[in-house]
Structure 1
Amino acid sequence: MMIGPWAGALTGLAAAPVLRAAAVRYAVPYGEPLRRCCPAGRVGRWPTGRCPGCGDASAGPRPGAVEAVAVLVGVALGAAAGAGSAALFCWVGAFGVLLGFVDAAVLRLPDALTLPLAAGTAVLLPFADHRPAVLLRCLLAAAALGLLYGGLALVVPIGLGDAKLAPSLGAVLGLYGWRAVGGGVFCAFLLGGVWGALLLLTRRAGRGDALPFGPPLLAGALLAVLAAA
């Protein structure tokens, strides 16, 4: 039984205020304390980006951006998820939206987000498919992507945060087979290259500027899941 795009859209819309607040809280440079607006504004923000407690709108993603992305991701994952994989897709989708905005803002994927994502993925994965052969493939895919991006981080401008995010995505892609795993990697680098080229052409970035790879990594995995589902 498929969950459906409408259920996914509603789930994304319901999660958006919490994801927006978390994006504001975690989008801080390395070594700095988490951002806190006020006690009343810790659990949600309006789509305008304004804190409901103090009215501050100076920090965080653009108005409506988190909500739009959360709904679109919800629609996509709702179309692909079944009854068993719904919880896993909600977990990975919510963290994916959050991590994408944080990385785009401050060029880092905090351990405080990537590690809980990995732990929750490991717990929820058997509910999506309990067959030992599939779970073994998911484990191997997670290890393969972790090693791939960890190795690349030593020679190309890919951060260790990307390497810590990759195993969770590899485990999900492993549900659909090795072709999906390879497709996710291919799409990630394709989207990253296109994004970088567009930024250069529009002069929004220079040749030596660091670019966040988290959003292409997440979007590539999503496209691979949609293609395989």
Structure 2
Amino acid sequence: MSAVTVAGTAVLGALAGLAAVPIGRRAVGVGRAAPRRFTGVGRAEAGAPRARWAVGCGGPAVGPRRCTVAVVGAVVYGALAVARGDEPGLPALLLVAAVGLVLAVTDLSALRLPDPLVGAVALGGGLGLPATALVAGEPGRLTTALVGVGLSLGGYLLLALLPGVRLGFGDVKLAAALGFPLGWLGWPALRLGLFLPHLLAGVTVLVLLAAGRIRRDTPLPFGPAILAGTWLAAVLT
């Protein structure tokens, strides 16, 4: 893929990141509903303030900065264009990434992964990639993709049912939805995509604990780690 095309794809990613913040905030009602106190991943209780983040390029609000998400979107799209630019499945991967940016915003803002958005991830990969595989004459990739769904669903469901593990069922559904594109990309991507989220989350928790930003009982979103791990697996394999 030419440098001009990569740059254009990165610009599209930046635009997707800019749009992700208002869409994500609207999806979870941030800024409209009364403040709520988080009592666990995916659950909240009314009556206490949320942690405050800066959403726009200036001014505090709930959620990540809009400019930050735009930069992340540019990096995500640009790296996918470099790593997967020669594959016909790139548009489907970019669609999944766009919805993933919105899900990262919702999880960081309200510890929620709304089912309609997770469903959009599943549809983006589940419809776009099979069509690509059939057109490209590679139907065998669909078998690995389905195995990826099964392994992701089974593994994360098992973890979510373990006592003391703060893994919500929204995380389980997101991992299952992303298992399809991971499997479609092949076994190396699938293995890496199943491993990296836990590594990224563990390192993040250790850094935040060392910096005194969180306590051991502080609920943290896991969706961004799943999304980041999937993206890294797609780029590195």
TM tier, shorter chain? 0.7 to 0.9
Of 144, 168, 175, 1:166 maps to 175
Distance 1:60 1:217 in 2: 18
Q: CA deviation at 1:183?
A: 0.9
Change in 2 beyond 3 A, CA 1:59/1:128: same
Q: Is the 8 A contact 2:25 2:105 kept in 1?
A: no
Q: Deviations over 1:32-64 (max 9, x none)?
A: 69xxxxxxxxxxxx95378xxxxxx74543241
Query: Aligned AA for 1:166?
Result: A
SS of residue matched to 1:190: helix
After superposition, give the CA deviation of every residue in 1:79-100 in whole Å (9 maximum; x if it has no partner).
Answer: 1233511221121110111111
Per-residue deviation at 1:132?
Answer: 2.2
Structure 2 residues without counterparts, runs of 5 or longer:
35-54
In the alignment, is residue 179 of structure 1 matched against residue 188 of structure 2? yes
Counterpart in the other structure of 2:79:
76
Aligned with residue 64 of structure 1, among 38, 63, 67: 67
CA contact (8 A) 1:5 1:75 kept: yes
**Structure 1 residues 111 and 2 mapped into 2: Cα distance closer, same or farther (>3 Å)?**
farther
156-165 or 14-23: bigger deviation = 14-23
Contact conserved, 1:77 with 1:93, CA < 8 A, in 2? no
Is 1:49–1:61's contact at 8 Å kept on the other side of the alignment? no
- SS of residue in 1 equivalent to 2:57: coil
Q: TM-score, normalised by structure 2?
A: 0.79
Q: Measure, in 2, the Cα distance between the counterparts of 1:47 and 1:67.
A: 11
Which of these residues, 117, 121, 124, is aligned with residue 117 of structure 1? Answer: 121
Secondary structure in structure 2 of the residue aligned to 1:153: helix
1:199 matched to 2:208 = yes
CA distance in 2, matches of 1:2, 1:121: 25
For residue 147 of structure 1, what is the amino acid of its counterpart? G
Structure 1 residue 119: Cα displacement: 1.8
Between Structure 1 and Structure 2, the one with more strand by share is: 2
**What is the aligned residue count?**
208
Equivalent residue for 2:51?
Answer: none
Instruction: Please state whether the residue corresponding to 2:161 is helix, strand or coil.
Output: coil
* Paired-residue identity, %: 34
Distance 1:160 1:49, change over 3 A: farther
Residue deviations 1:184-208 (CA, integer Å, cap 9, x gap) = 1111111010001011111111111
Are 1:141 and 1:174, in contact at CA under 8 Å, matched by a contact in 2? yes
